[in-house]
Amino acid sequence: MYTTGQSIIVSGGSRGLGLHMVTQLLEAGNKVATFARSYTKEVGALSEKYGDSFYFAPLDAVDVNGVTAFVNAVCDKFDGQLDSVVNNAAIGQDQLLMHTDPETIQQIVNINIVGPTLLTRIAIKRMLLQGSGNICNISSICGSRGYAGLSVYAGSKGYLDAMMRALAREVGEAGIFVNCVAPGFFESEMSSVLRPEQLDTIKRRTPSGKLSNDENIFKVVDLVISGTTNMQGQVVFVDGGITS
């Protein structure tokens, strides 16, 4: 583990990759805060095990006042410090654009674009005053490569990559590092819409012959937010080489 002793926010840490990252970061001695719309029993278990080092709030990523109050509460609980933010919360898509209803389009844009932008905006204010910080967006290979049925989702991930590059230029001088980790498909509730034969096709086309798992992705996130590299404004692919 590279990241230890930090105060960290991971959005969407109630299940899937987010839950794995929260668990590993707590295990490594970090203070970790997370939010999701609903509470899960795994969140309850983390509260019991890690006490004051862990903070969860039920919150929708698009609730401007709620996100601001959450960041303020985290800073109060974690001695005023906010070292890293991992923008992980997102929703997927499983339909051709022509069959995706306007409400769903709006929802994807709100949760996957507006949500992380709001959280990042508040976090960088804190980080600017501290003179240090790390922002890591979980984007996706879909942000750089075309996959049918994922057009709006792909656009939202491409947005994260593009915003990250501009932001790195805006705040890099203040000791704030902004990067993206772009996973290939991995098993989770989000990718459960893929049929087994689709997953097999993806595996066959992947040079490493296997999908990434939570731990593969977390290992890269851990390094990115550790503050031990000089990596700035980059998208790191963790996809077994499918985009190579």
Partner 1 sequence: MERTEILNIMNMIMTKKGRSEITDESQSTREVNFRSLDFSETALRIEFKIGTELSFEAASMRKIETVKDVLDFFEEATKGV
Ligand X SMILES: NC(=O)c1ccc[n+]([C@@H]2O[C@H](COP(=O)([O-])OP(=O)(O)OC[C@H]3O[C@@H](n4cnc5c(N)ncnc54)[C@H](OP(=O)(O)O)[C@@H]3O)[C@@H](O)[C@H]2O)c1
* Cβ burial, residue 135 (10 Å; 0-12/13-18/19+): buried
The answer to whether 183 contacts ligand X (rule: CB under 6 A) is yes
Q: What angle do CA 161, 108, 105 make, to 5 degrees?
A: 120
Q: Which residues bind partner 1 (CB under 8 A)?
A: 125, 128-129, 131, 171, 173-174
Tokens of 135: 């922002």
CB under 5 to 8 A by kind: which of partner 1, ligand X, none does 173 bind?
Answer: partner 1
How many CB atoms sit inside 10 A of residue 48's CB? 9
CB under 5 to 8 A by kind: which of partner 1, ligand X, none does 38 bind?
Answer: ligand X
Contact 5, 30 (CB under 8 A): yes
**Nearest distance from residue 101's CB to ligand X, in Å?**
18
Q: Which is nearer to partner 1, 75 or 235 (CB)?
A: 75
The answer to whether 89 contacts ligand X (rule: CB under 6 A) is yes
Site string for ligand X, 13-32 (x = CB under 6 A): -xxxxx--------------
SS3 label, residue 12: coil
**Nearest distance from residue 70's CB to partner 1, in Å?**
17
User: What are the φ/ψ torsions at residue 18 (nearest 5 degrees)?
Assistant: -60, -45
Residue 201: how many CA atoms within 13 Å on its side-chain side? 5
SS3 label, residue 195: coil
**What are the strands, taking DSSP E only, across 15-160?**
31-36, 54-58, 84-87, 133-138
The answer to whether 90 contacts ligand X (rule: CB under 6 A) is yes
SS3 label, residue 186: coil
Task: Figure out which of the listed residues 1, 2, 28, 37 binds ligand X, where binding follows CB under 6 A.
Answer: 37
The answer to whether 91 contacts ligand X (rule: CB under 6 A) is yes
The answer to whether 186 contacts ligand X (rule: CB under 6 A) is yes
**Nearest distance from residue 170's CB to partner 1, in Å?**
8
Site residues, ligand X (CB under 6 A): 12, 14-18, 35-38, 60-62, 88-91, 111, 138, 140, 183, 185-186, 188-191
